[in-house]
Amino acid sequence: MSNAKNSRYRVISNANDFMSQVYKSEKELRAINGQKYTLNDFCEEVAEYCGISPSTVSQIRIRNLQPSFIVSIKLAEFLEVDVSELFEIVEVDGYKNNREKCIIDGCERIATTKGYCMKHLHKGYAE
């Protein structure tokens, strides 16, 4: 799932930062006990907890892949953060200004794919 082109919103993922933090502290913790803990180990643990494959975890980690809603919830649980902290949804700059206006003279509303705004579309102008 990538961001759709011309989408009004863009998703910024913080999952990578949280994963790095948790991996680092876990690695340090285990080093105290003389245990080795690799990034692979971490990805496997995340994968098992979230019910996805380790390679999917890697894809999420490098921001190549947007996790599904359910996976996001599991991931937040695993990382012990709020799911709302994992992703930021921002409105694309100038989105409204770049949209086509309704083709009815003097109407300033944003047009649907049919060229009319929702109001004029529902009034039957497109028929």
Query: Which residues lie near Zn ion (CB under 5 A)?
Result: 102, 104, 107, 109, 117, 120
Q: Cβ of residue 122: shortest distance to Zn ion, in angstroms?
A: 10
Here the tokens at position 27 are: 């690695």
Measured from the CB atom, is 63 or 96 closer to Zn ion?
Answer: 96
Measured from the CB atom, is 12 or 110 closer to Zn ion?
Answer: 110
Which residues are paired to 101 by β-bridges?
A: 110
Measured from the CB atom, is 27 or 109 closer to Zn ion?
Answer: 109
Are 41 and 52 in contact by the 8 Å Cβ rule? The answer is no
Measured from the CB atom, is 46 or 102 closer to Zn ion?
Answer: 102
Q: Cβ of residue 116: shortest distance to Zn ion, in angstroms?
A: 6
Q: Cβ of residue 112: shortest distance to Zn ion, in angstroms?
A: 10
Q: Cβ of residue 98: shortest distance to Zn ion, in angstroms?
A: 18
